[in-house]
Structure 1
Amino acid sequence: MTQPIDSAATDAAVNALFATISRLVELSDGMRLRQGAAGTRLVFTGLPTASLNIVSVGPDADLGEVDAFAKEMSAMGAPWSIQSRGEVDSALLELAARHGRTSSSTLPLLIWDAELLPTVPASVPEGTTVREVRGDEAEVYAAALAAGFGMPKEVADLFSLPALLDAPDMTAFVLDLNGAAVATGFNIITGDQVGLYNGSVPPQHRGNGYYRALVAARLRHAAASGARYAFTQNTPMSRPLYESLGFQLAETWTYLTSAS
């Protein structure tokens, strides 16, 4: 994407992001997603991470609707956050504080256009291969995911359900080093968009180009499957890699969480 990202492209990516989350919820037991009349969304995964259980505020916030969703979320017993696109105004900050959400963090939303595909490297480091993983190898994917993120195996298992790995619009990937999976990624396609999730490499394997090779392979796979645009949210550690492949910042999301 060689031009600045306009609001229509950003909105399309945001809508696609929530469409991919809806698919995850649909195929996973115990998860919930619903949207209020004013555009507020409630996403509950039950996972022990505040950014994965959110009350997402629409562009024109209805504070009454946000408050009602926040009360509902607070009764569900998992860490949660109020998420807003861009900066948070004083009224929303006050509402969040009433629900104990007094800490703030941010994540970028990055967007990529497949017109940049010719610039994406096709080679992989020596001794490695990138391959797709299906439901019959759920344990392989879960173990690599747990190692890459340092997460409990039981949490990784929830992202490795055969129902997800075998879904036609979802593809799990691993990068094998001498036959052992050392990096992971997960694509979800919706319309002409692909969401890039669950990218991980354990600390002992970082700095060797494995993650870059895996992201590049995932972009090529998505484009071959009909995706024109890609989006991702990531940490400061991986953001420069995505930007080196042509991803651009669309907007920054704020997450208001409990101080504890």
Structure 2
Amino acid sequence: MTPEELLRLYDQQLRAEAEVADADEVTAIGPVLAAIFPARGRGFATARPIPAGTDVEALVAEVAAHFQSDPRVSNAEWKTRGHDGTLGLLDALARHGFRLEEVETIMAGDIDAVIAAESPIPVHYSLHRADTPALIREAEALAGRVFGDSPEDSARRADELVERDRRWPGSFEMWCVRDARGEIVCSGRVDPVPGSDFAGLWGGACAPEHRGLGLYRALTAARARSARERGVRFLQSDCSPMSRPILERAGLVPITTTTPAVWRR
């Protein structure tokens, strides 16, 4: 499929309701869905393209006040998309306390193309699912170290994933690569999106000293094969500038951008 066709499917299947399906509470504020995940202390705001003529400043102020007024919410993200072209949105978010983070590229692609781009991993490495609480925690700890997160934040995310796996088995799969010493050196999740043709690739990380060996591409292909067995046709990922060339070589194409806007109490 062309990037334009993939973007059309992305807009139809992966935005708004699909992004907050697992939220505890969702409040519609104009065109925005404001979701709250109390156990995570997290809020999340998303929308389909905001209609022309909307008072963007007033809309952002109302959504910000919604999160600020709820003591359960310690942080919140507003998910923006570059192709929407909503005039003044990023400036309004900054004025209302949201910090604009690094622009990420939204990638998507046919799952068969990703599998076809697989490269074998070197000997002395092994690739498999992290399918126990202990392995999920180990894989998430590796990602935390790669991304420079605090041990507390990494442990909290691991707890959330373990609990999610307990409550909703099959809602995601964690995959990992081990080196000759048995240590996890590369890891990432694949999350099938219910009611869609997509699965998301999330949390991909590879230890610096093990990069350039094809581990991440092999990890991506393994996740793709597993997702295809569950009927998934397309993959999607939000990626950093470092990950983009790897995912392009793995068969994904850029379709738009996102600038995460994050508010913290």
Instruction: Tell me the TM-score range normalised by the shorter chain.
Output: 0.7 to 0.9
Could you tell me which of 48, 73, 76 is aligned with 1:58? 48
CA-based RMSD of the aligned residues comes to 3.2
The 5-angstrom pairing of residues 136-151 of structure 1 reads 136-137=133-134, 138-151=136-149
- Aligned partner of residue 151 in structure 1, secondary structure: coil
Normalised to the residue count of structure 1, the TM-score between the two structures is: 0.79
Q: In structure 1, what is the equivalent of residue 156 of structure 2? A: 158
What CA distance in whole angstroms lies between the structure 1 residues aligned with 2:188 and 2:90? 34
Q: In structure 2, what is the equivalent of residue 194 of structure 1? A: 199
What CA distance in whole angstroms lies between the structure 2 residues aligned with 1:207 and 1:157? 28
Q: Tell me, which stretches of 5 or more residues in structure 2 are unaligned? A: none
- Structure 2 contact 172–190 (Cα < 8 Å) conserved: yes
1:154 is displaced (CA, Å) by: 2.6
Could you tell me which of 93, 111, 114 is aligned with 2:111? 114
What CA distance in whole angstroms lies between the structure 2 residues aligned with 1:127 and 1:21? 41
What CA distance in whole angstroms lies between the structure 2 residues aligned with 1:139 and 1:20? 24
- Structure 1 contact 57–82 (Cα < 8 Å) conserved: no
What CA distance in whole angstroms lies between the structure 1 residues aligned with 2:25 and 2:50? 19
Please tell me the residue identity of whatever aligns with 1:172.
M
1:247 is displaced (CA, Å) by: 0.7
Please tell me the residue identity of whatever aligns with 2:10.
T
Q: In structure 2, what is the equivalent of residue 29 of structure 1? A: none
Q: In structure 2, what is the equivalent of residue 83 of structure 1? A: 79
Q: In structure 2, what is the equivalent of residue 42 of structure 1? A: 34
What CA distance in whole angstroms lies between the structure 2 residues aligned with 1:206 and 1:245? 15
- Aligned partner of residue 125 in structure 1, secondary structure: coil
Q: Could you tell which deviates more after superposition, 63-72 or 74-83?
A: 74-83
Q: In structure 2, what is the equivalent of residue 211 of structure 1? A: 216
Q: Cα distance 1:90–1:139, how it changes in 2: closer, same or farther (>3 A)?
A: closer
Q: Could you tell which deviates more after superposition, 75-84 or 161-170?
A: 75-84
1:104 is displaced (CA, Å) by: 6.0
Q: Tell me, which stretches of 5 or more residues in structure 1 are unaligned? A: 26-31
What CA distance in whole angstroms lies between the structure 2 residues aligned with 1:95 and 1:20? 22
1:255 is displaced (CA, Å) by: 3.3
Q: In structure 1, what is the equivalent of residue 229 of structure 2? A: 224
Q: State percent identity of aligned pairs.
A: 22
- Aligned partner of residue 168 in structure 1, secondary structure: coil
Number of residues paired by the alignment?
248
- Structure 1 contact 149–201 (Cα < 8 Å) conserved: no
1:55 is displaced (CA, Å) by: 2.9
Write the deviation string for residues 101-157 of structure 1: whole angstroms up to 9, x where unpaired: 474642111111124255222522221111111233243223323233222233223
Could you tell me which of 221, 235, 238 is aligned with 2:240? 235
- Structure 2 contact 178–184 (Cα < 8 Å) conserved: yes
